[in-house]
Amino acid sequence: MRERLRSEIRRTGVSPNRILETDGEVRKTIRPSQIYRWLSGETKTADRNHFEACLAFWRPLPDAAPSVALTPEKLDVLNAEKDRTGVGPKALLASGKSIPVRVNADYLTNLLRGRYEDMPRECYEWLLDAWGCLPDAPKRIELTGELVSELSEAMQQAGSGPFKLLRGTAESRPDGLTGTMIQSWLNGTTKTARQDHLDFVQELLSN
C-alpha cells in the first residue's frame, strides 16, 4: 500500500501538502502529516477508506512535467545571467511575460542558492529566455574620494548644483539620472555610479 502511494507521488510530482489546496472530502478527513507518517513507516496501519481517498486524489493528476537536474554548472549559468543583467528575481518577474505557474520570487531566490535538486524544464527554459533577452547591466564606477572632490570642485567652478546642472536635459540625459542622485554622490550616500550617468555629468561640467 505504501509503495502505491509513493509511486503516485513520484509520477505526479505532487506532494501531500497539496491536499490542503483541495476542496474535496480528502481534505476533511486526512492531513498531510498523516500521509507523511504512512510514507515514513511511523504509522503502521491506515484506514482503508482514508487510504483509497488519498489514491483517488492523485490518480486523476497528470504526469509531472519533464525536469532538469540543477547541476552546479546549470546554477552557474543562471547566476551568471542574473549578474550580467543586474536583474534579480523580483525584477525579472515584473515583466509578466508568460511566467510558468510555479515560478515566484521566493522560489527563484531559493533556486539560485542551490536549495533545489531539479526544476521543471519549462521553468528552466523560461529563465534562460527571460534573462537572455535582456541587455548587459550598465557598468558601474566606484566613487572614490578623489573623484567626488573633482565633481564637487567642478560644480563650484560652474556655479551650479546638481539640480541646476540637469535643468533642460530631460530629453538627452540617461534614464534614471536625477539631481537627487548626483547629490547622493557628493555627500557620500552612494558609493558607485553608472558609467553613462557619470559620463553625462562630466560632459555637462566640461562645457
How many domains, in total, are found in the chain?
3
Is 165:182 a contact under the CB 8 Å cutoff? yes
What are residue 107's phi and psi, to 5 degrees? -60, -45
Residue 84 and residue 125 in one domain: yes
CA distances from 20 to 26, 32, 43 (A): 9, 8, 20
Range(s) of the domain holding residue 19? 2-58
Residue by residue, pLDDT tens for the chain (207 residues) are: 788 888 888 888 777 877 766 656 667 777 888 888 888 888 888 888 888 888 888 888 888 778 889 999 999 999 999 999 999 999 999 876 778 877 889 999 999 999 998 888 888 989 999 999 898 888 999 999 999 999 999 999 999 999 999 999 999 999 899 999 999 999 999 999 999 999 999 999 998
Residue 151 and residue 112 in one domain: no
Q: What CATH number does residue 154 fall under?
A: 1.10.260
pTM for the model stands at 0.55
d(CA 151, CA 141): 14
